[in-house]
């Protein structure tokens, strides 16, 4: 079965316009030879700036901004949607076939009370991937108690999407390196790296890799490793 690379866009890379442009250029250069990829994101610095401009300074819990009012919730939702549109626009500017998807679209991501986040009705997403389209998915879902749109941890959206697409692909989660992929400076990427050995010098959010590694294949890579050759290169994370 064909591999699918579910790329977690952490806050560091999400806020780096130069990285996003470079990623788009790598997709454009790879063309039809690019492996199937889905990009997943939550809220980044843009959301924080949006709230701060309105006088709100919320904390983050589990990677999600804590909102206290309906106005704050609406601001977060709007900002996450705008981040999604900006990523899509960056890819489109490089003539990459892409589509922006909110997690709430077509009930893609959903959460029942007391249950983990799930991805269902993924057939249309699989069809897009097989047509060499790059989906960009936000971590927005309907709250199970109120039905209002809210942000959930992007790491949970990554897990749910990867597991929801297992019928069509062999999913591999990609976490992006902070700098060089571990081991590449020595000339060869190691076959694996222990999850507990990951630091913020290696990846911006090592806890994400540690959380996912027991459940899914996880690869530390970068834009060049993902899209710059005949095969995907990186360091496998072992739990």
Q: What is the pLDDT of residues 96-155, one digit of tens each?
A: 999 999 999 988 999 888 889 999 889 999 999 999 999 999 999 998 878 889 999 999
Structure tokens, 108: 């893609």
Of 187 and 55, the one with more pLDDT: 55
Count: domains in the chain: 1
Span of 68-72, 188-192, 225-229 with lowest mean pLDDT: 188-192
CB 213 within 8 A of CB 197: no
C-alpha distance across the termini of the chain, in Å: 24
Q: At residue 63, does pLDDT exceed 60?
A: yes
CB 165 within 8 A of CB 119: yes
Closest of 118, 126, 237, 95 to residue 176, by C-alpha: 237
CATH number for the domain harbouring residue 157:
3.40.1160.10
Residues in the chain: 239
Q: At residue 187, does pLDDT exceed 60?
A: no
Q: At residue 215, does pLDDT exceed 90?
A: yes
At 93 the pLDDT is 97
Distance CA 26, CA 19 (A): 10
Distance CA 146, CA 153 (A): 18
The gap from C-alpha 191 to its chain's centroid, in whole angstroms, comes to 23
Beta strands at 37-41 and 134-138: parallel, antiparallel or unpaired: parallel
Q: What is the pTM of this model?
A: 0.93
CB 210 within 8 A of CB 216: no
Structure tokens, 110: 């959903």
How buried is residue 135: exposed, middle or buried, by Cβ count under 10 Å (0-12/13-18/19+)? Answer: buried
Residue ranges making up the domain that contains 133: 3-238
Q: How confident is the model at residue 226 (pLDDT cuts 50, 70, 90)?
A: very high
Structure tokens, 79: 């900002």
Mean pLDDT (whole number) for 78-82 = 91
At 113 the pLDDT is 83
φ, ψ dihedrals at 220, nearest 5°: -90, 120
Distance CA 207, CA 198 (A): 9
Distance CA 238, CA 212 (A): 10
Beta strands at 64-65 and 60-61: parallel, antiparallel or unpaired: antiparallel
Beta strands at 134-138 and 98-102: parallel, antiparallel or unpaired: parallel
């Amino acid at each position: 079965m064909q591999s699918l690379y579910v790329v977690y866009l952490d806050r560091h890379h999400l806020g780096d316009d130069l990285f996003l442009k470079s990623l788009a250029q790598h997709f454009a250069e790879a063309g039809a030879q690019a492996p199937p990829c889905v990009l997943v994101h939550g809220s980044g610095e843009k959301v924080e700036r949006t709230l701060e401009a309105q006088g709100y300074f919320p904390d983050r819990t589990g990677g999600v901004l804590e909102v206290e009012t309906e106005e704050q919730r609406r601001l977060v939702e709007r900002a996450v949607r705008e981040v999604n549109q900006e990523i899509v626009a960056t890819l489109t500017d490089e003539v990459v076939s892409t589509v922006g998807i909110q997690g709430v679209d077509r009930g893609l991501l959903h959460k029942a009370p007391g249950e983990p986040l799930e991805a269902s009705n993924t057939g249309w997403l699989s069809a897009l991937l097989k047509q060499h389209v790059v989906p960009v998915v936000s971590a927005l879902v309907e709250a199970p108690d109120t039905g209002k749109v809210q942000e959930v941890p992007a790491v949970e959206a990554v897990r749910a999407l990867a597991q929801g697409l297992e019928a069509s692909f062999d999913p591999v989660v990609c976490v992006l390196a902070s700098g060089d992929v571990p081991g590449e400076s020595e000339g060869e990427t190691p076959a694996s790296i222990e999850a507990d050995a990951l630091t913020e010098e290696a990846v911006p959010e090592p806890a994400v890799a540690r959380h996912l590694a027991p459940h899914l294949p996880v690869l530390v890579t970068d834009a060049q490793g993902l899209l710059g050759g005949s095969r995907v290169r990186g360091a496998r994370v072992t739990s």
